[in-house]
């Protein structure tokens, strides 16, 4: 095999033009709007399925046995995951553009693991669009490179890749600022995706500023709203909207603003089903609960205001009366929804904790991650409703009901925490648990936050202190 004499990038060599050999990509490729393929020679980085070891014909390895055994698959999968990440990170800095697609394959595999590929949880699903849209827009491309480099670097313990992610994040921010001033580009699907990726990068990577992601979530909320309801008619745009709405609600919660997604127009958009991955009845019930969920920020804002107000004041009593009526109406709607949903989705089953949890030795196992996420959302809302009924002195054992639904969340944590997106599924439920926890449960929450924050920095325990 001959060795190429040119040191230029692969595309310049193929075109027989002079290459400036810049890093991480050459200027000529950038000029013509093409991803620079890099300067690798003679080696091709090939990835297999992220969580399946390759079998030699006629042989079976110990890793294969481990992969097939459910009880011990976690360690084997983690080892393969880290092995894949190390292979990617070893080539990442030499040719970042060349390795984006391979790194995206690893990322998408990691995002879905350990759940089956049929899982359609939107926060995981939108990542599957990234390979097909890479190369469309420079702002989006730099955002993708930033996020996948951080993921590969974190999984492999490669500090150089993590540093590359940080520098690329600065590039992505600068490009985003210019893109938002471009009338044609600013409202595009690619820019919305870039903003969502940058917000996720802050959630995963920023251990120094616990409020930085809120600024990005604010920008995401504004962009989603400014684009208008009519721009979410394609499957990609609709998936981005559903992937964004959890962050939009959290921004409303922390900013004390009403969530615009609670309006009828936005509810109509979100109820559309543009893909066939979910059964129609399941999709309708999920969207029904989410429509109720958009009102959570207002309930929480009123709850805290009432708890801090002067009880004897006439205005306080008027607000308490209104809040009580709204909470009772919401409780009735949630109970009706649960009765319907529990006939569609299997209820969780009780199993022994695989972690030997002493506070919750019996935990919940669910049929799939979508169902688990929906049940946890329902438990969280019921905690808030009963807390409101209690502060409004409505008859009933509301303190006991708060503790009951709080424990339902805690029993779901072990299942929900699996995979790299586990922390994102638990952000709000653990916030609710922490707010209404007794001392042993609060210590339990702190332990989980410490564990989850190893990869999802926004969940550092100090960020949950009030």
Domain locations in the chain? 1-37, 100-277, 279-465
The answer to whether 114 and 77 have CB atoms below 8 angstroms apart is yes
What is the band of 296 on the pLDDT scale with cuts at 50, 70, 90? Answer: very high
Q: What is the pLDDT of residue 221?
A: 97
Higher pLDDT, 59 or 423: 423
What is the band of 111 on the pLDDT scale with cuts at 50, 70, 90? Answer: confident
pLDDT exceeds cutoff 70 at 23:
no
pLDDT exceeds cutoff 90 at 76:
no
pLDDT tens readout for residues 313-341:
888 889 999 999 999 999 999 999 999 99
pLDDT > 70: what percent of the chain? Answer: 79
Q: What is the pLDDT of residue 311?
A: 82
Helices (H) and strands (E) in the chain, counts: 21, 2
* Average pLDDT of the residues of the chain: 84
pLDDT exceeds cutoff 80 at 229:
yes
Q: How far apart are CA 228 and CA 290, in angstroms?
A: 19
Q: How far apart are CA 143 and CA 151, in angstroms?
A: 12
Q: What is the pLDDT of residue 308?
A: 87
pLDDT exceeds cutoff 80 at 152:
yes
CA dihedral 253, 221, 322, 265 (to 10 degrees): -150
What is the band of 73 on the pLDDT scale with cuts at 50, 70, 90? Answer: very low
Q: For residue 76, which of 51, 54, 59, 56 has the smallest C-alpha distance?
A: 51
pLDDT exceeds cutoff 90 at 100:
no
If one counts every other C-beta atom within 10 angstroms of the C-beta of residue 389, the result is 20
Higher pLDDT, 466 or 142: 142
Q: What is the pLDDT of residue 120?
A: 58
pLDDT exceeds cutoff 70 at 222:
yes
Section 302-307 average pLDDT: 92
Q: How far apart are CA 93 and CA 173, in angstroms?
A: 20
Q: What is the pLDDT of residue 51?
A: 33
pLDDT > 90: what percent of the chain? Answer: 63
- Please give the backbone phi and psi of residue 351, each rounded to the nearest 5 degrees, phi first: -140, 165
The answer to whether 376 and 409 have CB atoms below 8 angstroms apart is yes
Q: What is the pLDDT of residue 26?
A: 74
End-to-end CA distance of the chain: 65
pLDDT exceeds cutoff 80 at 453:
yes
The answer to whether 407 and 426 have CB atoms below 8 angstroms apart is no
Residues 6+ apart with CB under 8 A from 95: 24, 37, 38, 39, 40
Highest mean pLDDT (candidates 70-74, 121-125, 249-253): 249-253
Q: How far apart are CA 189 and CA 240, in angstroms?
A: 8
Q: What is the pLDDT of residue 396?
A: 95
pLDDT tens readout for residues 350-372:
999 999 999 999 999 999 898 99
Give the bridge partners for 362, in sequence order.
352
Higher pLDDT, 147 or 81: 147
Instruction: Give the side-chain half-sphere CA count within 13 A for 131.
Output: 13
Token pair for residue 194?
């870039």
Residues 6+ apart with CB under 8 A from 368: 115, 116, 118, 119
For every residue of 85-113, DSSP letters joined together read HHHHHHHHTT-HHHHHHHHHHHHHHHHHT
pLDDT exceeds cutoff 70 at 2:
no
Q: What is the pLDDT of residue 46?
A: 31
What is the band of 297 on the pLDDT scale with cuts at 50, 70, 90? Answer: very high
Section 443-450 average pLDDT: 96
What is the band of 55 on the pLDDT scale with cuts at 50, 70, 90? Answer: very low
Q: How far apart are CA 132 and CA 150, in angstroms?
A: 20
- Phi and psi based region of residue 258 (left: phi greater than 0; alpha: psi -120 to 50; beta: remaining): beta
Q: For residue 422, which of 446, 454, 381, 444 has the smallest C-alpha distance?
A: 454
One of 1.10.1740, 4.10.240, 3.40.1350, 1.10.3470 is the CATH number of 1-37, namely: 4.10.240
Q: How far apart are CA 230 and CA 220, in angstroms?
A: 17
Token pair for residue 242?
């559903």
Q: What is the pLDDT of residue 59?
A: 39
Section 397-415 average pLDDT: 97
Higher pLDDT, 436 or 7: 436
Q: How far apart are CA 432 and CA 429, in angstroms?
A: 5
**Which of 60-69, 108-117, 120-129, 324-333 is predicted with the least confidence, judged by mean pLDDT?**
60-69
């Amino acid at each position: 095999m001959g060795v190429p004499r040119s040191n230029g990038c692969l595309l310049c060599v193929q075109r027989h033009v002079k290459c400036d050999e810049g890093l991480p990509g050459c200027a000529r490729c950038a000029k013509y709007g093409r991803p620079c393929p890099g300067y690798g020679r003679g080696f091709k980085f090939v990835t297999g399925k992220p969580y399946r070891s390759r079998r030699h014909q006629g042989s079976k390895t110990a890793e294969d046995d481990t992969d097939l055994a459910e009880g011990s698959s976690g360690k084997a999968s983690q080892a393969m995951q880290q092995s894949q990440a190390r292979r990617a990170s070893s080539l990442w800095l030499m040719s970042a553009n060349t390795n984006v697609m391979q790194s995206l394959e690893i990322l998408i595999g990691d995002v879905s693991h350990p759940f089956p590929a049929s899982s359609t949880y939107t926060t995981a699903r939108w990542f599957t669009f990234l390979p097909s849209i890479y190369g469309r827009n420079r702002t989006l491309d730099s955002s993708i490179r930033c996020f996948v480099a951080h993921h590969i670097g974190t999984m492999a313990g490669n500090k150089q890749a993590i540093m590359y992610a940080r520098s690329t994040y600065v590039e992505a921010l600068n490009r985003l600022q210019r893109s938002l001033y471009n009338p044609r580009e600013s409202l595009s699907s690619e820019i919305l995706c870039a903003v969502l990726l940058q917000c996720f990068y802050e959630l995963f990577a920023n251990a120094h500023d616990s409020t930085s992601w809120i600024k990005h979530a604010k920008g995401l909320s504004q962009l989603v709203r400014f684009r208008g309801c009519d721009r979410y008619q394609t499957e990609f745009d609709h998936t981005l909207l559903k992937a964004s709405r959890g962050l939009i609600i959290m921004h409303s919660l922390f900013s004390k603003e009403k969530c615009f997604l609670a309006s009828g127009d936005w509810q109509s958009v979100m109820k559309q089903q543009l893909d066939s991955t979910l059964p129609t009845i399941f999709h309708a019930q999920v969207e029904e609960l989410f429509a109720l969920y958009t009102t959570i920020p207002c309930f929480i804002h009123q709850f805290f205001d009432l708890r801090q107000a002067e009880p004897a004041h006439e205005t306080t009593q008027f607000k308490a009366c209104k809040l009580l009526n709204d909470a009772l109406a919401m409780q009735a709607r949630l109970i009706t929804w649960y009765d319907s949903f529990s006939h569609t989705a299997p209820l969780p089953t009780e199993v022994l904790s695989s972690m030997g949890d002493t506070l919750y030795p019996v935990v919940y196992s669910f049929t799939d991650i979508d169902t688990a996420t929906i049940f946890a959302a329902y438990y969280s809302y019921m905690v808030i409703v009963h807390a409101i009924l209690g502060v409004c002195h409505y008859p009933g054992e509301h303190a006991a009901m708060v503790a009951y639904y709080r424990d339902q969340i805690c029993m779901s944590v072990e299942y929900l925490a699996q995979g790299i997106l586990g922390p994102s599924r638990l952000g709000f439920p653990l916030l609710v648990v922490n707010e209404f926890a007794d001392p042993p449960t609060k210590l339990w929450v702190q332990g989980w936050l410490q564990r989850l924050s190893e990869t999802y920095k926004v969940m550092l325990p100090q960020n949950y202190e009030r």
